[in-house]
Chains A and B, each alone.
Chain A
Amino acid sequence: MTGFIRRFGFLILVLGLVLLGPGCGGDASTSSDTSQQLNVGFAEDQYVLEGPDAGLGMYPLNANIFETLTYMTSDYEVKPLLAERWEFRAPDTWRFYLRKDVKFHNGQPLNAEAVKEGLFDRLAKIEGGSTILAGPDSAKVVDEYTIDFTPTAENLRVPEQLVHPSNGVVAPGSDIGEKPVGTGPFRFVEYLPKERIVVERNPDYWGQKSELDRITFRFYPDPNARRLALEAGEIDFAYEVPRQDVESLKGRGLKIETSSVGAYEAMFANIHGEPPHDLLGDVRVRKAVAYGIDREALVERVLDGLATTDQTFVPPSSLEPHASLVKGFSYDPERAEGLLDEAGWEPGPDGIREKDGRRLKLTLVSGFPSAEVHRPIPTFVQSQLKEIGIDVEIVERPDSASYQALIDSGEGDLYLEQGNQNDANPGFLPVLLFYTGGSGASAPYQSLFAPGPEFDRLIAPSLTTVDIEKSRRSVAEAMHYIIDEQAVILPLAGIYSIYGMKDSVEGFEPHPSSLNVRWNAVSLSG
């Protein structure tokens, strides 16, 4: 025995240290140490820590350290936040009147100088001046609590764009990549890259103070691990619960909250393609595709009932009260076949339609942001369209970069995307992707999908009116044209955000844009 210990004891000791020693690093706390410590599971850590795009605690995970001048409600309404009110001063300037009782976490007062440096000058250093088109001379201090902002090009949607968390006001002189300092209801505690970011209640917050003492946001790149952490009680709350896990989580006594629609699942038709990708240049074929897809079946059977059949592409809330202008397509395979007959596509021997020796074969490129996000929707679409005599070849792309390459080359007929709306500008996506009269944004998209002058004419007023309701109407009319009349956008479903949490989590308001979730009203019961 002593020989055994002498021979192998050291080895066992070394093995023990090697196996257990490294795990001694890191945080030993798992679930709540105190009654008001919330553990939240988020997705991948994608914080940028250096350069003008640095945004620790800001984007994509909004840890409520920073605040914006305006914020967006879950109905896509714009409300005051750090700015009490604002006005447009023709021809091109926005004036913001700041709240007077606000301090940064380091005690500095929030005033016009701070907003100039911590917001507008910061954004001016980002490529293109960020979405609001900020330039180095765009911001001017009017008085201590009033600041003017003049974009480098006409931009009448500034208040709607400022809601995006990347437009948070940073304390002047602070290092946003190292120790973020803002005005939010929570202040920075610590950050371990790829592991967690921790914030604590700001006791001097100007608004509704949180009942939570601390929030630990843990990064779980794998959604299954995030779900398991919620089931195990290691976290109290999880972002982006996969649809297929909803019932299982409910069965374990966990709560699921869903938001209104904030994202779309849609196909874009290449209407300007060169052969062999020129088949969707015919609007009858595009409408046949639209009529040939049973969206209710898609939502019920493929998306587990956890989506809607909205076909507005832009979140319906952001178009109200004009969302009803967009009708969408019902499931009508007979009508689809009638359109194809009219277009000269006759059923071939295998059921796939042919015309002048050509098969009606479409290439479906899946997708943005990745093919994985869309599965098994492409297969569903493929089987649906086969019923009406359209052969669909699915081409998957693993990430946005390789997907974009197929946009650039135009080697596709249908392009499947999922995207969400993270600011209150209703025309943001349609203008960006389909409007040809702008700054040249998304030129590759426009070269494939731009509907042309009529769409431009309908959507242009949304860019030239300060009145947000007029802007919404303009966008709704443009969406009616591009969806209902031209079938360039073929919406498949309206996607909402799914959040999972313990029963003890109270006061959470599910926001359709996960970037705009606010935590100061959340508490833990029991």
Chain B
Amino acid sequence: MRAYALRRLALLVPTLLGISLLAFGLANLTPGDPAETYLRRVLDQQPTPAQVAETREELGLNRPFMIQYLDWVGHAVRGDFGVSYSTRRPVVEEIGRRIPFTLELALPAAILALVIAIPVGVISAVYRNRLPDQVVRVCSLAGASVPSFWLALLLIGFFAVKFSLVPVAGRQGPASILLPVFALALTPTAILARFTRSAMLETLGEDYVRTARAKGLPGWLVVGRHALRNSLIPVITAFGTTLGHLLVGAVVIESIFIWPGLGKLAIDAILQRDYPMIQALVLYSGAVFVAINLLIDLSYTLLDPRIRLGDPGEGET
């Protein structure tokens, strides 16, 4: 398993190189000039061609595409991801400052989603086609469909404005985290609940479960000890994707709740054509997803002892 993990980590480098080249290319293809965008913002007026040319030279934008990219790679391998075109501060510093804010929302939201989704999915599967199942299915459909910005504003309007139970926005005391975490957790909860339900239904139909019931084991023991653990692999896989999305930031929630995380940083970088920031955030996102996928794969061996990683036909039982 260690060899497997090391091989996967070694693949991180070419993966990130590929992602960064793609992101660099797409960013450069996007219409708009970063120098002009920056100058328009700081000068509060249309810049002159001379000013744009001066800024382009300052930012190195007048060099050929591959020269810019290779220069960036050369610095990136030394941990220098350049300076943000819009704030003029080191990109690493800007991202480093924002990561804790994203984690403040992402981790509680992920845990909340898991803690709610699994029991709810199990209940839905056990009471298949009965009232609890129907309620769960309707709620999870709604949860997966509701736009997060609408939900966020609804929550604010109800809990913050009407009843003044929590602040409207901003990091103002312990209660301020409740609404953004809930708004962020809703869609993953709905999706994970559905995954859990599907996986449980499949497992509950297995022969060994029927055998366990036939042997007279209590229902909660059959479900909780025998069926649930064997249903978790697809759920954990979906959770990994969800966690990855949460860890790279949630643009809408961060904007509405004034949470200065990575999602807002990313959208601002795109709108301002801040290439160094876009590159660094893409790399960060790629690394997050690769790392999470690896952890998920490794967790399979805990959930299912039949799975061995690193043997010929990796991941096979």
Contact = CB atoms under 8 A, between A and B. Distances in A.
Is B one of A's binding partners?
yes
A13 to B, nearest CB: 13
Given A166-B44, A401-B33, A443 B177 contact: no
A50 B93 CA distance: 13
Interface in B87-105: 87-89, 97, 103-105
A219 interface: yes
Contact of A50 (B88, B107, B115, B161): B88
A441 to B, nearest CB: 4
B171 A405 contact: no
B279 to A, nearest CB: 17
A28 interface: yes
B301 interface: no
B173 A28 contact: yes
Interface string A19-40: 1111111111110000000000
B60 interface: no
Contact of B108 (A18, A400, A406): A18
Given A18-B107, A220-B169, A228-B156, A193 B258 contact: no
A350 interface: no
A251 to B, nearest CB: 13
A465 interface: no
Contact of B168 (A50, A234, A440, A441): A234
A399 B32 contact: yes
Contacts of B172: 26-30
A29 B31 CA distance: 43
Contacts of A445: 46
Contacts of B41: 46
A60 to B, nearest CB: 7
The listed residue with most A CB atoms (<10 A of its CB), out of B43, B181, B264, is: B43
Contact of A404 (B32, B45, B115, B153): B32
B31 A443 contact: no
Contacts of B164: 232-233
B123 interface: no
B87 A48 contact: yes
Contacts of B48: 128, 439-442
A194 interface: yes
A55 B44 CA distance: 12
A127 interface: yes
Given A27-B171, A46-B41, A402 B54 contact: no
A164 B170 contact: no
Nearest to B257: A225
Interface string B253-267: 001111010001000
Interface residues of A, number: 67
Nearest to A60: B44
Interface string B187-204: 000000000000000000
The number of chain B residues touching the other chain, given as a range, is 35 or more
A204 interface: no
Nearest to B159: A232
B256 A222 contact: yes
Contacts, number: 184
A264 to B, nearest CB: 14
Given A46-B41, A127-B51, A195-B170, A219 B258 contact: yes
B273 interface: yes
A504 interface: no
A440 B49 contact: yes
A363 interface: no
B88 A49 contact: yes
A54 B88 CA distance: 9
A193 B97 contact: yes
Interface string A384-408: 0000000000000011111011100
A76 interface: no
Contacts of A422: 44
A443 B47 CA distance: 10
A214 to B, nearest CB: 16
Contacts of B49: 440-441, 443
Nearest to A432: B46
Contacts of A275: none
Contacts of B175: 23
A146 interface: no
A278 interface: no
Given A28-B173, A404-B31, A422-B44, 19 more contacts: A23-B104, A23-B176, A59-B42, A60-B44, A128-B47, A218-B170, A221-B258, A225-B257, A228-B156, A232-B156, A232-B167, A234-B169, A401-B36, A401-B271, A404-B33, A405-B31, A432-B46, A443-B49, A515-B44
| For the complex of A and B, 4 pairs with smallest distance between CB atoms | A401-B32, A26-B171, A23-B177, A405-B31
Interface of B: 30-34, 36-37, 39-51, 54-55, 86-89, 97, 103-105, 107-108, 111-112, 115, 149, 153, 156-157, 160-161, 164, 167-178, 181, 255-258, 260, 264, 271-273
18 contacts: A23-B175, A26-B170, A49-B88, A50-B89, A51-B88, A127-B54, A193-B260, A218-B170, A232-B161, A234-B168, A398-B271, A399-B37, A401-B30, A401-B31, A404-B36, A404-B37, A440-B49, A441-B47
